[in-house]
Amino acid sequence: MLDKSVLDQYTTTIGIECHVQFKTKTKLFSAVDNDAREAPANTLVSHIDFGLPGALPVLNKEAVHLALRAAFALGTEPQKFSKFDRKHYFYPDLPLGYQITQYDEPIILGGAVEIEVDGQKKTIGVTRAHMEADAGKSTHPTGTDYSLVDLNRAGTPLLEIVSEPDMHTASEAKAYVRELYLRMRYADVSDCNLYYGNMRFDVNVSVSKTDELGTRSETKNLNSFRAVEKAVEYEVKRQIELLEKGEKIVQETRGWNDAKQQTFSQRSKENAEDYRYMPDPDLPPVVLDNPYIEKVKAEMPAMPDEWRERLSKLGSDRAQTDTLLEAELDAPEVNYLELIEQNIANQAFAKQLANWFVNIEIPARRDEKVLNPGKNAERLAFYQAVYELVAGGKLSSTNAKTLITDVLAAHAYPQNVAQHAEEQGFIQVSDEGEIAKVVTQVLAENAKAAEDVKSGEAKAIGFLVGQVMKASKGKANPQMAQELIKKQLGQ
Amino acid sequence: MADLSHDDVLKLARLARLNLTDEEVAEFAGELTEILHYVEQLQAVDVAGLKPTNQVSGLVNVMRKDEVVDYGYVPKELLKNVPKVQDDHLHVKRMIG
Pairs across A and B, CB distance < 8 A: 125
CA distances from A446 to A77, A315, A450, A456, A472 (A): 71, 42, 6, 16, 15
Residue B85, in any domain of the structure: no
Note the pLDDT tens digit of each residue in A354-408. Answer: 999 999 999 999 999 999 888 999 999 999 999 999 998 888 888 899 999 999 9
CB contact under 8 A, B61 and A274: no
Q: What is the band of A41 on the pLDDT scale with cuts at 50, 70, 90?
A: very high
CB contact under 8 A, B89 and A145: no
Would an 8 Å CB–CB cutoff place A282 in contact with chain B?
no
Paired strand residues for A117? A120
Mean pLDDT score, A316-334: 89
Q: What is the band of A225 on the pLDDT scale with cuts at 50, 70, 90?
A: very high
Residues A460, A452: contact at Cβ < 8 Å?
yes
* H helix or E strand, kind and range, residue A19: strand A11-21
**pTM for this one?**
0.87
What is the DSSP secondary-structure string of A221-286? EE-SHHHHHHHHHHHHHHHHHHHHTT-----EEEEEETTTTEEEEEEEPPPGGGG--EE-TTSPPE
Q: How far is A228 from chain B (nearest CA, A)?
A: 23
Cα within 13 Å of Cα(A450), Cβ side: 17
Q: How far is B10 from chain A (nearest CA, A)?
A: 13
Residue B35, domain CATH = 1.10.20.60
Neighbours of B48 (CB within 10 A): 4
Q: What is the band of A1 on the pLDDT scale with cuts at 50, 70, 90?
A: low
CB contact under 8 A, B93 and A42: no
Q: Mind listing the domains of chain A with CATH numbers? A: 4-287 (no CATH), 432-488 (1.10.10.410)
Residue B23, in any domain of the structure: yes
Residue B3, in any domain of the structure: yes
**pLDDT score recorded for residue A483:** 86
Pairwise CA distance, residues A135 & A153, whole Å:
6
CB contact under 8 A, A279 and B71: no
Mutate to test the interface with A, among B14, B53, B68 (most CBs of A within 10 A): B68
Residue B81, in any domain of the structure: no
CB contact under 8 A, B68 and A40: no
Residue B51, in any domain of the structure: no
Paired strand residues for A122? A115
Residues A149, A38: contact at Cβ < 8 Å?
no
Note the pLDDT tens digit of each residue in A144-172. Answer: 999 999 999 999 999 999 999 999 999 99
Nearest to B54 among A43, A47, A279 (CB): A279
Q: How many domains does chain B have?
A: 1
CB contact under 8 A, B78 and A90: no
**pLDDT score recorded for residue B52:** 85
Q: How far is A92 from chain B (nearest CA, A)?
A: 7
Would an 8 Å CB–CB cutoff place A283 in contact with chain B?
yes
Question: Under DSSP, is residue A116 helix (H, G, I), strand (E, B) or coil?
Answer: strand
Residue B4, in any domain of the structure: yes
Residue B75, in any domain of the structure: no
Q: What is the mean pLDDT of chain A?
A: 92
Burial (CB < 10 A; 0-12, 13-18, 19+), residue A371, is: exposed
CB contact under 8 A, B61 and A83: no
Q: How far is A70 from chain B (nearest CA, A)?
A: 18
**What percent of chain A is predicted at pLDDT more than 90?**
69
Nearest residue of B to residue A91 by CA position? B95
Residue A33 has pLDDT above 90, yes or no: yes
Residues B82, A137: contact at Cβ < 8 Å?
no
Residues A241-277, buried b or exposed e (16+ Cβ, 10 A)?
eebeeeeebeeebbbbeeeeeebeeeeeeeeeeebeb
Chain B, 60-79: which have a CB under 8 Å from a chain A CB? Answer: 60-69, 71, 75-76, 78-79
Mean pLDDT score, A221-228: 95
Nearest residue of B to residue A266 by CA position? B96
Residue B25, in any domain of the structure: yes
Rounded to two decimals, the ipTM of the complex is: 0.90
CB contact under 8 A, B63 and A58: yes
β-pairing verdict for A252-257 and A217-222: parallel
**pLDDT score recorded for residue B97:** 59
**pLDDT score recorded for residue A269:** 54
Pairwise CA distance, residues A385 & A56, whole Å:
63
Domain containing B12: what range? Answer: 1-46
CB contact under 8 A, A41 and B81: no
CA–CA–CA angle A141, A146, A148 (5° rounding):
65
Q: How far is B42 from chain A (nearest CA, A)?
A: 18
Mean pLDDT score, A420-427: 84
Q: How far is B54 from chain A (nearest CA, A)?
A: 6
Pairwise CA distance, residues A6 & A145, whole Å:
45
